[in-house]
């Protein structure tokens, strides 16, 4: 059951990060003309992501019923599912989370015809993604430090969502860089993204360090513990992401003007970032289930 | 301008760091059983009216289960299961029967607030 839970968590986190990132990109990063060009493909992506988010969210609840209860039979036992939803701290967060997730699908299908619809999607996605910072290891400390820990997990989710979730819309807008009509818009979007990206990366790194520190603060560090080994791999991959982001921003972007090789290189660099972020989300999906020590 | 910001925030940041470093936090694994009443080492002289199981993390009462089995393999009838007042890391289970002398196996299954399940067992002795 653990393996299925890993898979479901991977899909759920990916969908939440992607939805938030694309909604923010379309609302705050893309200038109007680029927005109109991106609206079609991003709406399709939003519908797919919202569907995955909802289905995997329900599956997650059922698997938690199986984990907390007595195995596979309890994944479909309404009494146990109801007990998880109504009587556990996970359930309390999850009910609101699922309610928000359920509202995203009709919004993606029917409501993305205007910029207000995209703004509403950003806001609801912020709640959906942020609430993922209120479950699991974020809850192992009580009191004031516990509150800080949850806040830090929420910030980590949102800043990572901005960073990782914007990569695909960025890739789509890179195609417009050489277009006469959209070139300046794509350039502006690129500059805005990398400007805000600096803050997102800084917040994601700082909160990531803080969260790991809270969990492992007094633990005996031992790389043979699966959690710690996988966390070390995650830190390594985040390092790779950081190098890719810096190379993209400070080596490739300056070589874009005058039809330089920068646009093509940036495209490759962004694709590489997307692959590495998928690996990071996969690790995150497993880490949340493992015992840190 | 930047310096002013740094000066304004630095004391708060330092205070927060100190607070976090100084705060007594336990080591976080998944929840584990820390202490039991009756204890697991010394036999108790009188039959316990309740059992207490103290864990390292907050627990979900809805998924807490405790069974007690005597020497003869018979399950002991237990009363209500509750969390200790002001301490949701400790489970209290009342014992309905008067326990005669003997060794008892306590088996527990708990779910901590972070959603992880922990199961285990221990023994205690009643020897008046």
- Contact list, B57 vs chain A (CB under 8 Å): 140
Asked if B60's CB is within 8 angstroms of A68's CB, the reply is yes
pLDDT of residue B1: 44
pLDDT value of residue B15: 67
- Distance separating alpha carbons of residues B110 and B55, to the nearest angstrom: 9
A81 and chain B in contact, CB less than 8 A = no
Q: Report, in angstroms and rounded to the nearest whole number, the Rg of chain B calculated over CA atoms.
A: 21
Classify strands B33-37 and B117-126 as parallel, antiparallel or unpaired: unpaired
Choose the mutation target among A2, A88, A142 for the interface with B, i.e. most B CBs under 10 Å: A88
Please answer whether residues A246 and A193 qualify as being in contact, where contact means their C-beta atoms are separated by less than 8 angstroms: no
Cα A282 to Cα A167, A191, A230, B50, distances in angstroms: 17, 29, 10, 45
CB atoms near residue B74 (< 10 Å)? 10
Cross-chain residue pair A88–B115, CB shorter than 8 Å: yes
B61: contact with A, CB 8 A cutoff? yes
- Measured between CA atoms, how close is B21 to chain A, in angstroms? 9
pLDDT digits (tens, 9 = 90+) for A226-278: 888 999 999 999 999 999 999 999 999 888 887 788 889 999 999 999 999 99
Peptide bond into A5 cis (omega under 30): no
What ranges do the domains of chain A cover?
Answer: 2-287
- Domain A2-287 grouped into CATH 1.20.1630: yes
DSSP, collapsed to helix, strand or coil, labels residue B56 as coil
Q: Which pLDDT tens digit goes with each residue over A50-79?
A: 999 999 999 999 999 999 998 999 999 999
Residue in B closest to A91 by C-alpha = B115
Rounded-to-integer distance, Cα A187 and Cα A253, Å: 10
* Reported confidence tier of residue B6, pLDDT bands at 50, 70, 90: low
Three-state DSSP class for residue A118: helix
Quick one: chain A helix, strand, coil %, rounded to 5? 85, 0, 15
Q: Is A265 exposed, middle or buried (0-12, 13-18, 19+ CB in 10 A)?
A: middle
pLDDT digits (tens, 9 = 90+) for B82-96: 999 988 899 999 998
A90 closest CB neighbour out of B27, B61, B115 = B115
Closest CA of chain A from B101, distance in Å:
33
Reported ipTM: 0.78
**H or E segment at A215?**
helix A183-216
pLDDT, tens digit, 9 for 90 and up, residues A203-231:
999 999 999 998 888 777 888 888 889 99
**Domain regions of chain B by residue span:** 33-126
Which residues in chain B have their CB less than 8 angstroms from residue A145's CB? 20, 23, 25
Domain B33-126 fold = Immunoglobulin-like (2.60.40)
Asked if omega into B8 is within 30° of 0 (cis), the reply is no
Tokens of A242: 């950081």
């Amino acid at each position: 059951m653990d393996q299925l839970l890993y898979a479901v968590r991977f899909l759920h986190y990916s969908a939440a990060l992607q939805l938030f990132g694309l909604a923010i990109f379309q609302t705050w990063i893309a200038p109007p003309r680029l927005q109109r060009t991106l609206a079609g493909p991003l709406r399709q992506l939003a519908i797919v992501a919202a569907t995955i988010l909802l289905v995997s969210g329900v599956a997650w609840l059922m698997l938690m019923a199986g984990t907390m209860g007595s195995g596979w039979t309890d994944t479909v036992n309404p009494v146990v599912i109801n007990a998880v939803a109504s009587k556990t701290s996970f359930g309390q967060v999850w009910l609101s989370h699922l309610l928000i997730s359920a509202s995203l699908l009709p919004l993606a299908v029917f409501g993305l015809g205007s910029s207000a619809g995209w703004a509403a999607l950003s806001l609801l996605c912020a709640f959906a993604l942020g609430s993922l910072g209120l479950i699991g290891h974020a809850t192992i400390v009580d009191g004031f430090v516990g509150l800080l820990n949850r806040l830090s997990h929420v910030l980590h989710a949102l800043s990572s969502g901005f960073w990782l979730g914007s990569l695909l819309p960025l890739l789509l807008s890179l195609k417009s860089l050489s277009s006469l009509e959209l070139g300046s818009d794509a350039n502006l979007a690129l500059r805005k993204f990398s400007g805000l990206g600096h803050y997102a990366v800084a917040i994601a790194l700082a909160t990531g360090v803080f969260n790991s520190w809270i969990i492992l603060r007094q633990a005996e560090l031992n790389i043979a513990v699966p959690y710690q080994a996988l966390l070390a791999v995650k830190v390594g991959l985040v390092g790779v992401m950081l190098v890719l982001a810096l190379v993209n921003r400070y080596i490739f972007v300056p070589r874009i003007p005058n039809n330089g090789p920068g646009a093509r290189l940036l495209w490759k660099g962004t694709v590489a970032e997307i692959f590495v972020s998928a690996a990071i989300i996969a690790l995150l999906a497993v880490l949340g289930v493992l015992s840190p020590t | 301008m930047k310096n002013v910001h740094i000066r304004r925030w630095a004391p708060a940041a330092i205070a927060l760091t100190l607070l976090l470093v100084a705060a007594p936090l336990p080591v976080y694994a998944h929840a584990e059983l820390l202490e039991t009443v009756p204890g697991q080492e010394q036999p108790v002289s009188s039959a316990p009216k309740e059992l207490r199981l103290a864990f390292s993390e907050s627990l979900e009462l809805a998924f807490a289960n405790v069974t007690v089995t005597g020497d003869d393999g018979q399950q002991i009838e237990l009363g209500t299961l509750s969390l200790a007042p002001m301490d949701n890391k400790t489970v209290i289970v009342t014992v309905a029967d008067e326990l005669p002398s003997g060794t008892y196996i306590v088996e527990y299954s708990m779910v901590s607030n972070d959603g992880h399940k922990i199961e285990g067992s221990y023994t205690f002795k009643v020897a008046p």
